[in-house]
Structure 1
């Protein structure tokens, strides 16, 4: 009989980011994300239905759990809005998202730096914060 246990695949870049956050101030921690080289530009089109921005938001939620050692797990409900800013070889993505925990749905802001499509750069969660309370 087969086990019903779920298999979770964590990409290598996620482990690098998670390990860096858990180590504190070690000398071998990754360098900070590059400085912004432009202003914030609103993301056009349907950000709610865009798979790329959902993936970035899910990445921020996973890093929040693993690297920042959050106590409660959040599940992505939707990406509400976002903006992008050029930064070095990649971009900063500031996403407004709704996520659920056991007590309801809250609104959060995540800022993530990364280079889309690259395997040579480690994505980084620059900040993650709650911006609005629970809704049932």
Structure 2
């Protein structure tokens, strides 16, 4: 799968980062699984590529405007053939807010470690 980034308009509406990336100590936390599943849902809606989350491998968070950027490395299974791959996604959002729309900034398949 070729790298896919969000549209220029979506990226332009994401506030600039205002802090360094900080590693997430427990990437398998329910909240980060929700962020990963959101990214997979948007991928399915836009590209009709249906992936099921296997687990969040690792991640980091970065303050950006009123919210945060979440960079997550995840493993997901293709619903068609069951193949599991590694994917990197960056999602911007404001936890707990109903006033801000979450956005997928980027999503791409990455090589498996050998």
TM-score per shorter chain, which class? 0.7 to 0.9
> Which runs of 4 or more aligned residues in structure 1 lie more than 2 Å from their structure 2 counterparts after TM superposition?
none
Q: What is the 5 A alignment of 1:27-66? A: 32-44=13-25, 46-48=26-28, 50-66=29-45
TM-score normalised by L of structure 2: 0.83
Aligned residue pair count: 105
Looking at both structures, which has the greater relative contact order when contacts are Cα pairs under 8 Å and sequence separation is at least 6? 2
Q: How far does residue 91 in structure 1 lie from its aligned partner after superposition?
A: 0.2
Ranges in structure 2 where 5+ consecutive residues have no aligned partner = 1-5
- Say which is worse superposed, 94-103 or 105-114, in terms of deviation: 94-103
Q: What is the 5 A alignment of 1:1-136? A: 32-44=13-25, 46-48=26-28, 50-67=29-46, 69-70=47-48, 72-101=49-78, 102-133=81-112
Q: Decide which structure has greater strand share.
A: 2
SS at match of 2:111: strand
Aligned-residue CA RMSD (Å): 2.1
Ranges in structure 1 where 5+ consecutive residues have no aligned partner = 1-20
